[in-house]
Structure 1
Amino acid sequence: MSPGIDNNDNVVVNLPMDFVNISHSEPSVNNEDFELKKEYEQLLLACRTGDADAVDSLTLIPNLDINRVDEWNYTPLILASLCGHLHIVKLLLSRGAVCDRDTYEGVRCIYGALNDEIRNLLLSYDITKKVDDNQPFSAHISKLLLVVFSSLSARDLAFVFPGLVDPAHRVFVVNRFLLAARSRYFNSMLTAGGEWMAKSVVVMSEKADAAAFASIIDYIYLRLDSIPISGALSGFRSFAEQFELKELLEVMDELPSSQKGKLQMLKKQQSDLVEVARNELMVFLKENVLASKCEVVLEEDVDFEDVDATTLLDTKIHTKLLQSNAFADIIMSSIDVDSGSVVYYPVHRAVLSRSDYYTTMFKSEMFTNSHEVPVVMVRDQELVDRPNVEIEHVPVLQASVNTTNWQVTEIILEFLYYDNVQHIPSNLSVELLFAADELWIHRLKMLTALSITSLVLTFDYESLLALPDSTGYDVCDLVEISWQTRCDRLEQHMTKLIAHNLEEICSHDNLRERLSGLIRKSAERIRERQETDTIELVDDIRFYLAKKYAVHNDFAELDGVAATWSATREENVRGDNNIYLAAMKDYDEDVLLVETLLEELALEA
């Protein structure tokens, strides 16, 4: 066997250390059993040499921390990545090795990967295990490059580097709408009159730096760990200048000289670079998607429930939407009751797939069979052949069955395209809540619920009475809506509003009747309810009453009258007995109101 090559044809990197004879720094082995230390050293050596059997057995040893670092700040996963042992990397990840790009070790592990296959594995692992929960926008954009996501991303442009053997750098399949959104250069080349407008494949110069181009594509797709910090940077900078990536160039100009300093600065800059991408997609949405929308006016006295918006689009408008600079592969329709029309938007399945509802739709056999698109194969990679896409290849979808206003549809698009909502009109908030729930967009649903609850900040009677004017629904309606949309935040907020105004509600005949009906519906939500079973709404009202008047010692945060004195009953009595007794009297009276309502309904809870 040749020096530097193992039995699996992987490169063995000659690191500046001997793992058999190293003496770890004291912090790394303090209080460690000698045998455990020895086994950890064996694991490091096995990861360096690619000994899968040894790694398999050693990682099963109890109390052996496979995420520990040695005195050179190497972990077993970093070594396996650095030495190119893909099978070891997979094994370590399956045994709990951490690759978190929010840490120095995680960034080092990804940057140090010997080949793109390992790097892509680590990036995809990092995305699915970490970023998806905390950075859903950047995680989704990053996933568009993954092979497993290709059916949803609908990539429609390929850059080919002739003469290269490395499959990772021979061809890059991308979304032209994303390139156009993020780079003025790409926008000019791809839009009407551009050199690449009628192309599905762009052949790059043989002198072009494919590795540098790969890093540029990764930057565009928010795989920000791929920004090079060492080696030949001229090719990367040259592409950044050619593609007019101003913010990226500014970051490169500010990088310090040390490698560690560069890593730290890039980590700090990541959120800013994500914000740049969000702003660019916001502009793209405004200037290319929303600006290209078309409106079809319906006949007078039409029954909107019978309107099938997907069948009203004529060939002329359909063609106009397809040929717009949005590069759409989906047409979104939105019924607008106020204007008596249907509005159509040129959109992208790569973006709509941020919604679990649309993801499920796009993956369904019925959708794929009925909406086939022309494709072209480029070196074993498939992409949409956009120059040959016709209107029959671009399906028309309805935004949501709960949407009757074009503004709601545009708010949904704002969120999907750049993860933000500029403004939620209070009169549209409930409709948006239903739409977000229908489309399985959890975060948008939470933002909408927050916009509704922000209308009630003081929990006074005036706020309760103002709800119908601002939202179109009273407090009891909103509790029911929270049940229908499974929105706990909204339910608790409105229940608290009821508890804080119970006396006024019960003094108003209509509101009292509404609350009684709501309590009955809450009781009916429990299947096979027994006579003495609890009623959730009643329990919640009692809870907020007790919190309001601080009748229990468990409440650290007090509301209403209770905020004016200590939470401890003995201190209340000693400090101001009259205030405390008055509060207890009010509490008992409110509880009696609840009991009276239950008696009238012949319910026990």
Structure 2
Amino acid sequence: MSHPISKDALELFRHCKKGNIEEVRVLVEQRDVDVNIRDIWDSTPLYYACLCGHLPVVEYLIGVGARCEANTFDGERCLYGALTDDIRRTLTQHNLVTTHTIRRDAYDEFLRRLFESGEYSDITFVVQGEAVPLHRCLLTARSEYFRDMLQKRWHSRDKVIINKDMVTPDAFRAVMKYMYTGRFECPVELVECCIRIGVNCKLPNFRLMLEDAERKAQVLQMGKQGLVKVTTVVVEPDESCSPGVGSWVGGSEGVGSDLRDLAQATLPPHLRFWPTEMPFCPTQDHAPFADVCFVIDGHPFLCHKMFFCTRSEYFRALLRDHFHETQWQDSSSLPTITLHDVSPQVFAVLVHYLYCNQTIVSLENAIEVMVAADMWLVSGLKRQCGVYLGSRLHTDNVISILRLARLFQLPRLEDQCVTCMAKNLDQVVETQEFRDLVLDDADEVRGRQETDSVPIIDDLRFHISSAVQTVSGIMEARTKLSVIEAVLEDLGIEA
């Protein structure tokens, strides 16, 4: 029996066929449904949106990472099946711009908006009269040149004037945006200027990266015999270096790697995951340019507001409104905030997530981290804990994790739990935990005075029967359904 498709995934397919863009957004952004999921006919949501002629849905799915690259099965199938010329044109233009689609997640958006908004900036560069607000801590983490200048020559400045003719505002912004996001984009005519700026800023491999991009652009133009003119050079971040659950970004050139080092420097020395030498000022044993101090069980964490306030509404309100937890010391010291009901170890996990989107969790701390993430309104960290727990499911813990998934509203984890239970039904139904779960669900339905079936029973029936395709599969499904009926009869429940 093949892996069943979740209810949310079926809903995504249905709304893509009907063109319900708002429902599609909810399923992708709030219910975490994979935009590249396939149904039993090996079709994707994007294919159905193209086939049914819903351009807004097509544009949205492409924007969040639906695969439609040229010369691939998915790309050619979508192009061939598209109902309208507008959709074909959208697909073609997408493939001309790039053959590499990266889903823009919350962390990508955080970095981009941090640069573009200039919020919480503490230094401004004025390039030929145009102001570019930036953040000292990020510049220090990303560039040896800025690290040296900000700690010495520019230490007491809040504004730096650059009037060199060879440094244009647009080129400077392009390089700075690369430092923030790992993504480079600029007009072809500014590439040489950007290379000079990058070399001066001592950005690792920057020259080689842009020269390689230029060479590829020239090859593309020559291959198209004048039919294509490249006007913009774009270099996307390397997906293989994306941070994730329980992993570290490789390569000093990566944004995640550099911000990981910055996150390490915010922690008290004895709590650092790796007690390595920090790549900052040798006389410092803490993060450079920290502007807030969190104290947990007497342990100080010297941090940066921009990460906490822009990635958590809880901390934004805490720092903005000066809650009673905040204690201001003299003007020469950092604002100090004492947090309760959390361990220093869990707060260290939060710091790493906020700074570099990495989650270092284990079975021992995952639940504690999830509780804290829920309290601090850091939904991404909560979901990543759910991803970790979903990878550790077995018959002994599946019901307890299912209860957690419901409590913390993690639909993908809940679906994984039900799938695991359906697959191992013979073992699960023998446990008292399963019977207690069925009884609790039945009591909840009765308490609402509803006539709905018991939720866990309804979900199990769906997972058992939804992917049946063969005669043997039908027989297996019937056997499992009869086991469920026997349990219900034994418990005296009609569902």
TM-score scaled by length of structure 2: 0.63
Q: Which of 93, 102, 107 is the aligned partner of 1:137?
A: 107
Cα distance 1:416–1:146, how it changes in 2: closer, same or farther (>3 A)?
same
Matched, 1:415 2:353: yes
Q: Which residue of 2 aligns with 1:308?
A: none
- What are the Cα deviations for residues 503-555 of structure 1, in whole angstroms up to 9, with x where unaligned? 54555xxx42x3343233323444852363322122123334xx1xxxx5x52
Q: Contact 2:121–2:134 at 8 Å: present in 1 too?
A: yes
Q: Contact 1:157–1:176 at 8 Å: present in 2 too?
A: yes
Q: Which residue of 2 aligns with 1:594?
A: 488
Q: Contact 2:287–2:302 at 8 Å: present in 1 too?
A: no
Q: Which of 348, 351, 357 is the aligned partner of 2:313?
A: 357
Matched, 1:476 2:415: no
1: CA distance, partners of 2:231 / 2:188: 11
Q: Which of 167, 174, 182 is the aligned partner of 1:215?
A: 174
- What are the Cα deviations for residues 291-317 of structure 1, in whole angstroms up to 9, with x where unaligned? 4533899xxxxxxxxxxxxxxxxxxxx
Q: Contact 2:292–2:302 at 8 Å: present in 1 too?
A: yes
Matched, 1:174 2:134: yes
Structure 1: gaps spanning 5 or more residues: 1-62, 67-97, 108-129, 298-320, 335-340, 374-387, 457-462, 468-474, 570-579
Paired residue secondary structure (1:532):
coil
Q: Contact 1:331–1:395 at 8 Å: present in 2 too?
A: yes
Structure number, greater radius of gyration: 1
1: CA distance, partners of 2:480 / 2:241: 53
Paired residue secondary structure (1:203):
strand
Cα distance 1:585–1:176, how it changes in 2: closer, same or farther (>3 A)?
closer
Q: Contact 1:219–1:227 at 8 Å: present in 2 too?
A: no
Cα distance 1:490–1:329, how it changes in 2: closer, same or farther (>3 A)?
same
How far apart are residue 182 of structure 1 and its match?
Answer: 1.2
Q: Contact 1:329–1:348 at 8 Å: present in 2 too?
A: yes
2: CA distance, partners of 1:419 / 1:229: 32
2: CA distance, partners of 1:272 / 1:504: 40
2: CA distance, partners of 1:263 / 1:395: 52
2: CA distance, partners of 1:99 / 1:418: 33
Q: In the TM superposition, what are the counterparts of 1:262-301 in structure 2 within 5 Å?
A: 266-267=233-234, 269-271=236-238, 279-286=254-261, 288-294=262-268
Q: Contact 1:333–1:343 at 8 Å: present in 2 too?
A: yes
1: CA distance, partners of 2:111 / 2:369: 24
Q: Contact 1:156–1:173 at 8 Å: present in 2 too?
A: yes
How far apart are residue 244 of structure 1 and its match?
Answer: 0.6
- What are the Cα deviations for residues 372-409 of structure 1, in whole angstroms up to 9, with x where unaligned? 99xxxxxxxxxxxxxx96325x34253x84x4350x33
Q: Contact 1:99–1:106 at 8 Å: present in 2 too?
A: no
Q: Which residue of 1 aligns with 2:382?
A: 445
Q: Higher mean Cα deviation, 446-455 or 264-273?
A: 264-273
Cα distance 1:350–1:531, how it changes in 2: closer, same or farther (>3 A)?
closer
TM-score scaled by length of structure 1: 0.52
2: CA distance, partners of 1:292 / 1:363: 18
Q: Which of 451, 460, 467 is the aligned partner of 1:555?
A: 467
Matched, 1:197 2:155: yes
Cα RMSD, aligned residues only? 4.4
Q: Contact 1:357–1:440 at 8 Å: present in 2 too?
A: yes
Q: In the TM superposition, what are the counterparts of 1:234-313 in structure 2 within 5 Å?
A: 234-254=192-212, 255-256=214-215, 258=218, 266-267=233-234, 269-271=236-238, 279-286=254-261, 288-294=262-268
How far apart are residue 174 of structure 1 and its match?
Answer: 0.7
Equivalent position amino acid for 1:404 in 2: S
Q: Which residue of 2 aligns with 1:485?
A: 408
1: CA distance, partners of 2:450 / 2:237: 57
Cα distance 1:586–1:240, how it changes in 2: closer, same or farther (>3 A)?
closer
How far apart are residue 485 of structure 1 and its match?
Answer: 0.2
Equivalent position amino acid for 1:477 in 2: S
Q: Contact 2:185–2:235 at 8 Å: present in 1 too?
A: no
Matched, 1:345 2:301: yes
Paired residue secondary structure (2:395):
helix
